[in-house]
Every structure is written in structure tokens, then in C-alpha cells.
Structure 1
Amino acid sequence: MHCQLLSCICIPRAVSVQPKTTFARSKSANERKVGHCTKVPRSNNMESLQTGYLFPEIFIRESEHMRKNPHARLIKLGVGDTTEPIPDIITSAMAEQARALSTGRGYRGYGPEQGDAALRTAIAEKLYQDTGVKGNEIFVSDGAQCDISRFQMLLAPNVSVAVQDPSFPAYTDSSVILGRAGKLQVETGKYGGIVYMKCRPESNFFPDLSTTPRTDIIFFCSPNNPTGSAASWQQLKQLVEFAKANGSIIVYDSAYAAYITDDSPRSIFQIPGAKEVAIEISSFSKLAGFTGVRLAWTVVPEELSYSNGYPVIKDYNRIVCTCFNGASNISQAGGLACLSAEAYKALSNIMGYYKENTKILLDTFASLGMKVYGGTNAPYIWVHFPGLSSWDVFTEILEKTDIVTVPGVGFGPGGEGYVRVSSFGHRECILEASKRLRNYYK
């Protein structure tokens, strides 16, 4: 058996592959290009990014491990890529759309940059019931990662930013690229211009807002990647009130909302007043296995405005029309099919499959006496190894069990001492991983 649990979107994420190291700017011989150089200077913001990309670094170490152990049966519990087939009712809709493009009657060229009207309406009606979100406030795109950066383009260079610590690295990386992060503090692994909201297990990884300084933008992910925790209604109410009191905008990432099994809100817009202080970014990637199909959306409420009263939605629409020609009409046909009653039931069954995988892994680590978090409302397990380097734990698990995980420090300084384990994968591989972990740590 050759188990390969491909469990993450393979997206470049500029997080430190070795904490407390940075590029020596244009001084290292192996960084300089030999031969002709242009006279165009490199962006200082790009030079400010931390050393390298987390997942390519993991791939390098994984490849080196396989070079040394060519017969190893590698199991990938690292990256968050879905593995189960997309239901036929959805792929048939995409195939029908694709076939129609070869006919005079069915051919379509450019569509609306904001997305197909029927899909926008369906998202509003299916996923935002009783929140007041309307179809015209939904912008369909090719990925949540792209939308995070598009939103950043709206903002002045000097706006201040806060992120959860730990959290999805794209929030920090895009802030660095656009010059908002300040200088990297090598000793702490933090950027001087970013507020890191420490998220601790005793508060279900919700930050202490009473000690959080005011910032213009607050990036917030629930259920959180990597901790797997979902904020409660009361916690999100506190977050909305905090943003309103400070005149801040919340960028709310709900990419894993469909995995929520308790009464935690699936949208920030379930909280009264949120439409005045928040946008929401979400995706079909984990909901429908569209990691390769590429389809997402962002909700920009009409009520949200800048300090001068100008509606944010008008600028976001301008950015979309300038920098994006709209999502693939084939992908959008699949997205619309996803929201039918029959397809959504099939997708719920697949998500149930991943949730059972999560329970297997959660029970495995708990049985070994480890402190483990997440696993209830997200397809991730966040395992604590107190006092240990997360990269050292990653290496030990890889070398001793042939299992790939993700070192927690890749998600920010607050992730040190943890590893993230993904439950995306085929059941036989999850069971085999459980067996190997029990045998090694027993």
C-alpha cells in the first residue's frame, strides 16, 4: 500500500521555514544571478518576506526522506487538499457546460466580473439565510487566497493590521507584500507593524480583545486554520462590538464553515451589526472538493463604508473589474450545481467522511496522552508537544513513522510547540497512520 494523503492547497505561503532566519539581501552568492542584470530594483516589500515558503520546504524535506528511504510508504497528513471524488451531479453540470461551449448556441465568452447572477443569488439564499446578505453583495472568484490579496489592494499603504496567532499565513504575507507589515523582528519572528492576537487553548483560541490595540483591519478565521477552533456566537458578538468601537474592518475567513457541527455561527453576518464592519471570504474548495476546480466568493455588504462614508463595495467592484475577468463559467456551473438539495446532501456525506477521519486521528492522539485540539468543527487536529520545536517534532514523526505533518510555527510564532495534522485522505491511510502513531508513541 502506498498511501498519499494529499491534504493541502499547494499555495505559496511565505512563512519562515526556519524561524529566526531571513534572507541576506542580495549578498549571498547563491542568491545572485550570474550574467546580465536589469536596472530594475527588487521591491523592498518582497525582500521583507521571511525566508521561504512553508509547503515547498516541507516537500523538500519529504523528498529528501524518500531519497534516503525509497521503499517507505509515505502518508501525507500535512497539506489541506481534499481527496474524495466530486459527486457526479456536480461534475455532470460542469461537463454539460463545457460541451455547450463547442456549439454556436451554447458558447459563452466573458461573463460578469462579479460572477453569474444565478450563482450569486443561490449563494445568498442557500448559505446566508436570515442574515440580510443579498446576491449583489456577493463577488464570485477563483479562490479565497486571491480575494485576500484583492481586498488588500483597496487599502491605503499605512493602514494597520491585526492577525490571530497562529493563523493562515496569507494574511500576514499579503500585508508584507503591500508594505504594511514593517520590519521583521528576527528574535520573535514577528513583523513590527502587525498586531499578533495571541490565541491560547484556555480561551478556545479566541484572542483577548481587552488587551488588543486598535487596528484598521482585523483578519479573523473561524473555524480557524490551523487550530480547528470555531468562535462562539458570544465571542463573535464581542469581536463585532470591538471592531465597531474602534472603527475597524473585519476580514472574516469562513472557508471551513461547512464543517461546523455545533451551534457556532457559520457566518459573521449572523451577528447583529456585522454588515457595518465586516466582509466575509469563503470558498467551494473544502465544501465541495473544488481545490483544483477553483471557485470562491467574497461578501461585501452595502452598509460597509470607509471613514469618509464612501461604500467599500464600490471600490471592491472596481478592483474586481480592473484585476479580474471573472471565474470560469465551467467552474460556476459546478458551483451552482453544488447548491442544489441533492448535491448538497452528497457533499454533506463526503464532509461526514472527513469528519470520521478527524475523529480517528483525534482519538489516536488523545489515547497517547497528548493534548490535542480542534477536530470538532474543522478537518484539522492541533497537537501540542510542550517545550519542543515544532520543526523537530515534524522531523521526528517523518523519520520514525513516514508520516508528513505541518510544523505549527509555520502559522506564526504562537504555533511553536504544535503540529497540525490534516484529516483529508482515504480511510485506509488514516487508519494506517493511526496504527503507526500508536506504535511509536505508546
Structure 2
Amino acid sequence: MGQTGQYQNNVGYGNIEYMKCTPENGFFPDLSSVSLERMSYFFGEYMKCTPENGFFPDLSSLSRTDVIFFCSPNNPTGSAALRNQLTQLVLFAKDNGSVIIYDSAYALCWTVVPKELQFSDGFPVAKDFNRIVCTCFNGASNIAQAGDLACLSPEGLEAMQEVIGFYKENTRIKVDTFKSFGFNVYGGKNAPYVWVHFPGQSSWDVFEEILEKTHVLTTPGSGFGSM
């Protein structure tokens, strides 16, 4: 279990650290050592992303936050943030001293933490990140790394483009089909999944209907929470 470092009123959280698990506490962290005041900072809020705002939050309505979790392309809508929108997000974070945890889905298969990125006390974020990765993950196996390198070869890149083309064509068929029926369709441009609005029906009813009539599996929207 992990927690942030001590909260400092002027700059926010300190470095990321692990909650101590020792023989003395039965290898379970002493939760009583965390004050309620500090725990209150752990509870955040969802940034509303709806069709009306293009699935990008209204940053002007948000209060200051220490950590922002942001995913693009958005799951499950398939909508991707534009460059100017991401610029707004970065400026908001810089103005408020926030850290952005950015899930750039389908981008790179590795993570780069700039050496210049530091905590408020000047300690490099990369060192904390490396500690967490080394503790929680022993790294990809040799065969997986060999596969990654093969994908970057001319033959691998060509093969990947063929697979991507297959998925893009399937996505196009889904988008065109649902639109021909008059449904509002989102996504399908920057991600291989499509978000469809079925007014007047629950997502589970739609799931069962499509499964029974076409033998196609879909994912009920209720599994992602409410909008």
C-alpha cells in the first residue's frame, strides 16, 4: 500500500512513499498513523465529460487538485483530446501545482519520466517512479522484449499496419451501421471502439438484444458508471 509524503500547506504533497509493512505490524500498514485530515485529501471528484462538452472537462469549473487522472482516447467514448485541449490541461495543472497522471492509451509501450520533472522540494520524480516500478514490477520478460523489438522492424511495422487496418475497417462498419439506424455514435476515429447512445433503453437491455439477435458481444455502458 502506498501513500503520499507529508502534506505541506504551501506546496501540497511531498514525495510518494510506501506505508511501512513490518513484522511488528504483521506486514499490514498502521492506518491509524494517517490523520483524518490527510485522508480527506485522498477523496476527489470526477471531471464531467459529456457529449455537450465534447467529452473534455470544463476546467474553469474545477477546484484546485493535487492529482489529475486523465485518459485519452477516453474510455469508453473513444473520443481523443485535441492538442489545444491538452495545452489547457497542462496550463491548469501548472497554475494550480497539480500533477497529471496521463493514460495515453495506444501510444507508446514504455514510459519516459523527464529528468527535469521534480517534486516541490527538488527531488526527481523519476527516482520515485523507478523505485515504485522496480518494487511492484520486475520488468518485461526477455521474450516479450524481443517481441517488442520485432514490432519495430520494417516487417513488424508492416504487419502492425495490416492489423490496424483490419480494426479500422471493422470500426468503420460499426459506425456506419449505427448511424444508418439513426443512433448517435461517438469514437471510432482515434480508438478502436465505438460508443452508441440508445435512448429509452438500459444498457443491459441493449446488450441482451444485440447478443440474442446478432450473436455479437458488446459492453454495457453501466459498467463504466453514470455520465
Q: Same fold (TM over 0.5)?
A: yes
Amino acid in structure 2 at the alignment position of 1:332: Q
Q: Which residue of 2 aligns with 1:409?
A: 222
Amino acid in structure 2 at the alignment position of 1:336: L
Is 2:225 aligned against 1:390? no
Is 2:123 aligned against 1:243? no
Q: CA deviation at 1:299?
A: 2.1
Q: List aligned pairs for 1:74-153, cutoff 5 A.
A: 153=2
Q: Which residue of 1 aligns with 2:39?
A: none
Q: CA deviation at 1:199?
A: 0.7
* Cα distance in 2 between the residues matched to 1:333 and 1:402: 37
Amino acid in structure 2 at the alignment position of 1:195: E
2:164 to 341, 351, 360: 351
1:218 to 68, 91, 94: 68
Amino acid in structure 2 at the alignment position of 1:353: F
TM-score, scaled to structure 2:
0.78
TM-score, scaled to structure 1:
0.42
Amino acid in structure 2 at the alignment position of 1:202: E
Q: CA deviation at 1:413?
A: 1.6
Q: CA deviation at 1:321?
A: 2.5
CA RMSD, aligned part only?
A: 2.5
Q: CA deviation at 1:394?
A: 1.9
Contact conserved, 1:228 with 1:381, CA < 8 A, in 2? yes
Higher relative contact order at CA 8 Å, sep ≥6: structure 1 or structure 2? 1
Give the SS at the match of 2:185. strand
2:44 to 191, 194, 200: 194
| Deviation by residue 1:232-255 (Cα, 9 ceiling, x = unmatched) | 110010011011111111111122
Q: Is there any run of 5+ residues in structure 2 with no aligned partner, and where?
A: 14-30, 37-41
Contact conserved, 1:154 with 1:319, CA < 8 A, in 2? no
* Cα distance in 1 between the residues matched to 2:5 and 2:49: 28
157 and 357 in structure 1: CA distance in 2 versus 1, 3 angstrom threshold: farther
Q: Which residue of 2 aligns with 1:333?
A: 146
Q: List aligned pairs for 1:269-284, cutoff 5 A.
A: 282-283=108-109
355 and 207 in structure 1: CA distance in 2 versus 1, 3 angstrom threshold: same
199 and 348 in structure 1: CA distance in 2 versus 1, 3 angstrom threshold: same
Contact conserved, 1:154 with 1:316, CA < 8 A, in 2? no
* Cα distance in 2 between the residues matched to 1:298 and 1:210: 30
Give the SS at the match of 2:111. strand
The number of equivalent residue pairs is 197
Q: CA deviation at 1:212?
A: 1.7
Runs of 4+ deviating beyond 4 Å: 156-160
Q: CA deviation at 1:154?
A: 6.4
Is 2:212 aligned against 1:399? yes
Q: CA deviation at 1:401?
A: 3.2
Q: CA deviation at 1:403?
A: 2.4
Q: Which residue of 1 aligns with 2:58?
A: 208
2:106 to 232, 243, 256: 256
Q: Which residue of 2 aligns with 1:317?
A: 130
Is 2:114 aligned against 1:301? yes
Percent sequence identity is: 65
157 and 353 in structure 1: CA distance in 2 versus 1, 3 angstrom threshold: farther
209 and 364 in structure 1: CA distance in 2 versus 1, 3 angstrom threshold: same
Q: CA deviation at 1:393?
A: 2.2
313 and 378 in structure 1: CA distance in 2 versus 1, 3 angstrom threshold: same
Amino acid in structure 1 at the alignment position of 2:65: T
Q: Which residue of 2 aligns with 1:32?
A: none
Contact conserved, 1:374 with 1:381, CA < 8 A, in 2? yes
| Deviation by residue 1:166-196 (Cα, 9 ceiling, x = unmatched) | xxxxxxxxxxxx9xxx9xxxxxxxxx92311
Q: CA deviation at 1:411?
A: 1.6
